[in-house]
């Protein structure tokens, strides 16, 4: 099925349901579908059809969802781009993806005009307001067209979304997600993450629509649920909590850093959050101590997911029932896991030679399912590295316990090798974050003349807290093996994060390694 047909069907069955709310703009499913159909007709007139790539560069706005669905219905591939990227970065994605059309929000009119000459493949720029020379106006295009459109028949393996990775380790790569991948992800959401999800649900898009929140718009549209898009560019925790209360939000996705800010918001209990059934978090590690606080403060709404762009949002999950405060020691230990394989997903742990490891063996996490991407766009070498015999090699290192719970230790590139011992930074971070003076921490390897690498903790202290490096090193004693405790601690005001709120360890490492690029990257 064409993934865009999710919208066509919801508009037929639930025409009067609220589809999108953003500030004063509120569209029913009937209206949303008509606008998408108008845009699909306009795109077709511009020569966009099956297999063509369309870049979408805008803030979280309803037009982002419209443009994505217009592409799906046409059999074209959407290339959503994070609006916080630097012009050089979005120029790279537009050019590399060979997009023929770029749809932008008005703040990109000037930047795109400036780089247009570096984008020879782009035939049209469509802007949602304030069109400049050589640009088309979005609303004018829609108004000129019919509000009916017959969704194009696609093959299940046709590409629907070119998902550019966030590039925390190297140049971004375009994961090719097919209609089959996205439909399987959607069905999996209903079966594991949010059973009973339906037309009365209200979903808040607090995270970028170009990433997780946009992927999760698909199950919302498939069940005619409401999509609430806050009118704030940054993650303003008070406005997000206010929106949950005002719209009676039932479901949202947030990065762990956002969940932490919600749980630790001083005004949290002023808001009525009782409608919130599911707070889905993932995309980066959630340290057990942060999770404990979140369970305490936010109640029984948390569900963890582990996925990556190459297997969108879907490898393992940790359901509500595992989010406990006073469980057995095994249950408490599992708070630092990423849960177990999703219903129709296989997960294995492999050693360096590619052999499956027994329970508890530490190696690379691999996965096989209908969610796994077709490959990377124009990157056969990276595709061959990532996909072997149908198994996606995630680049994440971890182990599985006897009940199938997966413990993700780190990205393989973040592993520290000190005196021949493998040290997983996450284990040390889990300890340090329990110290009352520590707000956030990243543990990295720094050069050491004798051991190759030494362990360093880079710490953001809690406001008003005084603590010394020696005190924190002492705190690790008796809690982890001695060789793992940091040899040194540096204090910083904040840790560098990428546009999705993930801590970027290569940027933290860079000053310590200077010219030894291999470790920095």
By C-beta, is 283 or 363 nearer to ligand AMP?
Answer: 283
Taking the complex as a whole, the smallest distance from the CB of residue 164 to ligand AMP amounts, in Å, to 9
Q: Return d(Cα 324, Cα 292) in angstroms, integer.
A: 8
In DSSP terms, 252 is beta-bridged to: 204, 279
CA dihedral 483→485→489→492, nearest 10 degrees, is 130
| By CB under 6 A, residue 283 contacts ligand AMP | yes
Taking the complex as a whole, the smallest distance from the CB of residue 122 to ligand AMP amounts, in Å, to 25
| By CB under 6 A, residue 435 contacts ligand AMP | no
| By CB under 6 A, residue 394 contacts ligand AMP | yes
DSSP string for 437-450:
TEEEEEEEEEEETT
Mark the segment that binds ligand AMP (CB under 6 A) among 28-36, 277-285, 327-335, 457-465. 277-285
| By CB under 6 A, residue 285 contacts ligand AMP | yes
Taking the complex as a whole, the smallest distance from the CB of residue 267 to ligand AMP amounts, in Å, to 27
In DSSP terms, 251 is beta-bridged to: 203, 278
Burial of 266 (0-12, 13-18, 19+ CB in 10 A): exposed
By C-beta, is 128 or 278 nearer to ligand AMP?
Answer: 278
By C-beta, is 29 or 281 nearer to ligand AMP?
Answer: 281
8-state DSSP, 192: I
Taking the complex as a whole, the smallest distance from the CB of residue 302 to ligand AMP amounts, in Å, to 12
The correct pick among 54, 408, 455, 472 for binding ligand AMP (CB under 6 A) is 408
Enter the tokens of residue 99: 């997009």
Largest CA distance in the chain: 71
CA distance between the termini of the chain = 40
Structural contact between residues 69 and 7, judged by C-beta atoms closer than 8 angstroms: yes
By C-beta, is 283 or 425 nearer to ligand AMP?
Answer: 283
| By CB under 6 A, residue 308 contacts ligand AMP | yes
Nearest to 408 by CA among 498, 325, 316, 501: 316
Taking the complex as a whole, the smallest distance from the CB of residue 494 to ligand AMP amounts, in Å, to 20
User: Within a 10 A sphere around the Cβ of 459, how many other Cβ atoms?
Assistant: 26
Mark the segment that binds ligand AMP (CB under 6 A) among 149-157, 278-286, 369-377, 487-495. 278-286
Q: Return d(Cα 29, Cα 10) in angstroms, integer.
A: 7
The correct pick among 172, 222, 309, 445 for binding ligand AMP (CB under 6 A) is 309
Site for ligand AMP in 328-357 (CB under 6 A): 338
Q: Return d(Cα 417, Cα 413) in angstroms, integer.
A: 11
The correct pick among 284, 324, 467, 510 for binding ligand AMP (CB under 6 A) is 284
Taking the complex as a whole, the smallest distance from the CB of residue 107 to ligand AMP amounts, in Å, to 24
The correct pick among 80, 174, 208, 282 for binding ligand AMP (CB under 6 A) is 282
Taking the complex as a whole, the smallest distance from the CB of residue 285 to ligand AMP amounts, in Å, to 4
Taking the complex as a whole, the smallest distance from the CB of residue 339 to ligand AMP amounts, in Å, to 8
Taking the complex as a whole, the smallest distance from the CB of residue 217 to ligand AMP amounts, in Å, to 16
Taking the complex as a whole, the smallest distance from the CB of residue 394 to ligand AMP amounts, in Å, to 5
Compute the C-alpha angle 210/263/256, nearest 5°. Answer: 35
8-state DSSP, 131: -
By C-beta, is 35 or 411 nearer to ligand AMP?
Answer: 411
By C-beta, is 323 or 411 nearer to ligand AMP?
Answer: 411
Count of residues that interact with ligand AMP, criterion CB under 6 A? 15
Q: How far is CA 244 from CA 18, 255, 300, in A?
A: 16, 16, 16
| By CB under 6 A, residue 173 contacts ligand AMP | no
Taking the complex as a whole, the smallest distance from the CB of residue 317 to ligand AMP amounts, in Å, to 9
The correct pick among 166, 188, 369, 418 for binding ligand AMP (CB under 6 A) is 166
User: With b meaning 16 or more CB within 10 Å and e meaning fewer, what string describes 472-510?
Assistant: bbebbeeebeeebbbbebeeeeebeebbbbbbbbbebbb
| By CB under 6 A, residue 165 contacts ligand AMP | yes
Q: Return d(Cα 483, Cα 10) in angstroms, integer.
A: 57
| By CB under 6 A, residue 314 contacts ligand AMP | no
The correct pick among 32, 92, 306, 424 for binding ligand AMP (CB under 6 A) is 306
By C-beta, is 301 or 408 nearer to ligand AMP?
Answer: 408
CA dihedral 264→267→269→271, nearest 10 degrees, is -120
Residue 177 CA, chain-centre distance (Å), reads: 14
Q: Return d(Cα 27, Cα 62) in angstroms, integer.
A: 9
By C-beta, is 220 or 308 nearer to ligand AMP?
Answer: 308
Enter the tokens of residue 270: 């002023």
Mark the segment that binds ligand AMP (CB under 6 A) among 153-161, 306-314, 454-462, 464-472. 306-314
The H or E element spanning position 159 is strand 159-164
Taking the complex as a whole, the smallest distance from the CB of residue 242 to ligand AMP amounts, in Å, to 27
Rg value, the chain, Cα: 23
Taking the complex as a whole, the smallest distance from the CB of residue 338 to ligand AMP amounts, in Å, to 5
- β pairing state of 101-104 and 124-127: parallel
Look at residue 417 and give its three-state secondary structure: strand
The correct pick among 304, 383, 418, 506 for binding ligand AMP (CB under 6 A) is 304
Q: Which residues bind ligand AMP (CB under 6 A)?
A: 165-166, 282-285, 304, 306, 308-309, 338, 394, 396, 408, 411
């Amino acid at each position: 099925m064409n993934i865009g047909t999710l919208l066509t069907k919801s508009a037929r069955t639930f025409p009067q349901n609220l589809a999108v709310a953003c500030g004063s703009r509120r569209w029913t499913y009937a209206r949303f579908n008509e606008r998408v159909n108008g845009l699909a007709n306009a795109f077709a007139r511009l020569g966009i059809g099956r297999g063509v790539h369309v870049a979408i560069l805008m803030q979280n706005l309803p037009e982002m969802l419209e443009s994505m669905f217009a592409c799906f219905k046409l059999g074209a591939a959407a290339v959503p781009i994070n609006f916080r990227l630097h012009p050089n970065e979005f120029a790279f994605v537009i050019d590399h993806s060979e997009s023929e059309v770029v749809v932008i929000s008005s703040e990109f009119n000037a930047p795109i005009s400036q780089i247009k000459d570096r984008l020879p493949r782009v035939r049209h720029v469509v802007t949602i307001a304030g069109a400049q020379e050589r640009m088309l106006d979005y609303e004018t295009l829609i108004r000129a067209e019919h509000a009916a459109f017959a969704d194009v028949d696609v093959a299940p393996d046709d590409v629907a979304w070119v998902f550019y990775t966030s590039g925390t380790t190297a140049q971004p790569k375009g994961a090719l997600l097919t209609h089959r991948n996205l439909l399987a992800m959607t069905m999996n959401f209903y079966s594991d993450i949010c059973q009973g999800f339906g037309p009365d649900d209200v979903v808040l898009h607090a995270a970028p629509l170009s990433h997780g929140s946009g992927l999760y718009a698909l199950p919302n549209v498939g069940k005619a649920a409401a999509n609430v898009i806050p009118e704030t560019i940054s993650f303003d925790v008070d406005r997000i909590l206010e929106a949950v209360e005002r719209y009676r939000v039932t479901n949202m996705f947030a990065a762990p850093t956002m969940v932490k800010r919600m749980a630790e918001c001083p005004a949290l209990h002023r808001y009525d959050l009782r409608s919130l059934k599911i707070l889905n978090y993932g995309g980066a590690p959630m340290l057990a101590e942060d999770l404990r606080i979140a369970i305490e403060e936010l109640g029984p709404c948390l569900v963890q997911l582990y996925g990556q762009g190459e297997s969108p949002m879907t490898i393992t999950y940790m359901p509500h029932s595992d989010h406990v405060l006073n469980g057995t020691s095994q249950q408490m230990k599992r708070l630092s896991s990423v849960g177990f394989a999703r219903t129709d997903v296989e997960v294995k742990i492999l050693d360096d030679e590619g052999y499956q490891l027994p329970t508890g063996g530490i190696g690379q996490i691999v996965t096989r399912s209908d969610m796994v991407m077709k490959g990377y766009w124009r990157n056969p070498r990276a595709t061959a590295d990532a996909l072997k015999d149908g198994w996606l090699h995630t680049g994440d290192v971890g182990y599985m316990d006897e009940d199938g719970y997966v413990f993700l230790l780190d990205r393989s590139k973040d592993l520290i090798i000190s005196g021949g011992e493998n040290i997983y930074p996450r284990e040390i971070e889990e300890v340090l974050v329990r110290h009352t003076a520590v707000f956030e921490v990243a543990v990295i390897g720094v050069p050491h003349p004798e051991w190759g690498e030494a362990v360093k903790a880079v710490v953001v202290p809690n406001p008003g807290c005084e603590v010394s490096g020696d005190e924190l090193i002492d705190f690790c004693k008796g809690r982890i093996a001695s060789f793992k405790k940091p040899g040194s601690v540096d204090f910083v005001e904040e840790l560098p994060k990428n546009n999705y709120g993930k801590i970027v360890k290569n940027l933290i490492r860079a000053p310590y390694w200077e010219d030894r690029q291999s470790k920095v990257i």
